[in-house]
Structure 1
């Protein structure tokens, strides 16, 4: 059976340039939709957070304006997340064994900008997945979690790789760009990523470069998850069959 690790931010805020804390967490749709895609495909999913804390959804993600104007869709996502028992008692991220998983996936929300983006232990975990040639996947602000992954020389593990993430334009459109300490697109480019994005803000954009799988925004979460299923489940079937 294919096994997936979903690594979720453990914080409920993002510190802005003026020192104030913007209430956030993980983005609900970016966890709910991939989780459903993975489990529908028969993948065994483990959810883990730093320290094993119960993760907090960004409640803005349940609002109609972020769900195509539908209050019902936001409530559907909320109900689905509440039905996932593993979210109430996640595993301790620092204690997971890479050998137990076929790939790792990081949902977005501004939370990862606060904790996973600064976590040396998480960077080491990503290096283990990469050294084992296992997919490393992230969507939207979850791509910030790639930043602490370093090689023995301290160089960023994903320098020169093509990827995507929440764009500067999208951050500006949600009103947080002027208040941010740093913007994700800028930081990724500065560390050496070949950053790409959809021609239009909010459009689906999924990029695969070797073992690195990234999606730009919430519209990209389902497509990214389905690509992971296609590549990992099918590959596992072949391996298990001894082909």
Structure 2
């Protein structure tokens, strides 16, 4: 049996854009789809956030999930949304500053536009990611979640994403989502400025996952399943070989 692993899942505390009145927060499917895959595999997950406490949900993520469910598409969002025990986990999350990196085997950064406002510039989050990566842990992010990788600097002074193959929410997707005027920066462009080898799917919003060793990124909400599967596969590969009987 594969070893049980502990995975830290980080989400935003921000519930609105700074320049416009739109509400934002966690894109719920990016949490639930990853959680479903990891939990089914027998792993333990812990929620955290930059400030600790409440994680807001982007209302549009619920609306689009309902449309998907009505069209008969696969979605676990409302099963989780109706689960009071699961949803209560979002009410009181731990602050990333209090997390011991040695207690987790992987870290997963969820998206939603809220992370663009509290992931970059969060020094405790950047230090945690750097520590986990340098300790041989898996670092993963989806959609806007790679915004949390922008300021991560390793012990040798280099940025984590420098020279790495990555993806994340594209500028074309921001335009199609009608958020290009509301976001504080373009994630695609900022990753490129830091020396990352950014790539994206040929079609906007198509699932797309990029793996560069223990760094795993997904482009958009539809990529959360793929990121989860890639994380679990990487964790299995890192398990020590069983000794012969």
C-alpha contact 1:206 1:223 (8 A) present in aligned 2: yes
| Aligned-residue offset at 1:78 | 2.3
Match of 1:122 in 2: 125
Tell me the distance in 2 between the aligned counterparts of 1:228 and 1:78. 24
Q: Match of 1:138, SS?
A: strand
- Relative to structure 1, the CA distance from residue 3 to residue 171 in structure 2 (aligned partners, 3 Å threshold; closer, same or farther) is same
- Relative to structure 1, the CA distance from residue 234 to residue 193 in structure 2 (aligned partners, 3 Å threshold; closer, same or farther) is closer
Matched, 1:211 2:214: yes
C-alpha contact 1:13 1:114 (8 A) present in aligned 2: no
Greater share of helix residues, 1 or 2? 1
Tell me the distance in 2 between the aligned counterparts of 1:149 and 1:64. 32
| Aligned-residue offset at 1:83 | 2.6
| Aligned-residue offset at 1:30 | 0.2
Match of 1:150 in 2: 153
Q: TM-score, normalised by structure 1?
A: 0.89
Which sits farther off after the overlay, 150-159 or 129-138? 150-159
Tell me the distance in 1 between the aligned counterparts of 2:181 and 2:161. 27
Unaligned runs of 5+ in 1: none
Match of 2:92 in 1: 89
Match of 1:106 in 2: 109
C-alpha contact 2:9 2:46 (8 A) present in aligned 1: yes
C-alpha contact 1:140 1:218 (8 A) present in aligned 2: yes
Match of 1:180 in 2: 183
| Aligned-residue offset at 1:89 | 2.4
- Relative to structure 1, the CA distance from residue 150 to residue 67 in structure 2 (aligned partners, 3 Å threshold; closer, same or farther) is farther
Match of 1:224 among 222, 227, 230: 227
Q: TM-score, normalised by structure 2?
A: 0.89
| Aligned-residue offset at 1:141 | 0.3
Tell me the distance in 2 between the aligned counterparts of 1:199 and 1:191. 23
Unaligned runs of 5+ in 2: none
Tell me the distance in 2 between the aligned counterparts of 1:231 and 1:178. 37
Tell me the distance in 2 between the aligned counterparts of 1:115 and 1:50. 7
Q: CA RMSD in A?
A: 2.2
- How many residue pairs are counted as aligned between the two chains? 238
> Residue by residue, what CA displacement relative to the aligned partner does 1:166-225 show, whole Å, maximum 9, x if unpaired?
001100001111333311101111111110000101111000002110000011100110
Match of 1:135 among 121, 134, 138: 138
Tell me the distance in 1 between the aligned counterparts of 2:182 and 2:66. 21
> Residue by residue, what CA displacement relative to the aligned partner does 1:70-106 show, whole Å, maximum 9, x if unpaired?
3895633522476344322222211011111000001
- Relative to structure 1, the CA distance from residue 21 to residue 212 in structure 2 (aligned partners, 3 Å threshold; closer, same or farther) is farther
> Residue by residue, what CA displacement relative to the aligned partner does 1:143-165 show, whole Å, maximum 9, x if unpaired?
10101101357542211101000
Tell me the distance in 2 between the aligned counterparts of 1:191 and 1:88. 34
| Aligned-residue offset at 1:67 | 4.4
Tell me the distance in 2 between the aligned counterparts of 1:152 and 1:112. 25
C-alpha contact 1:32 1:80 (8 A) present in aligned 2: no
C-alpha contact 2:96 2:128 (8 A) present in aligned 1: no
Matching of residues 182-201 of structure 1 within 5 Å: 182-201=185-204
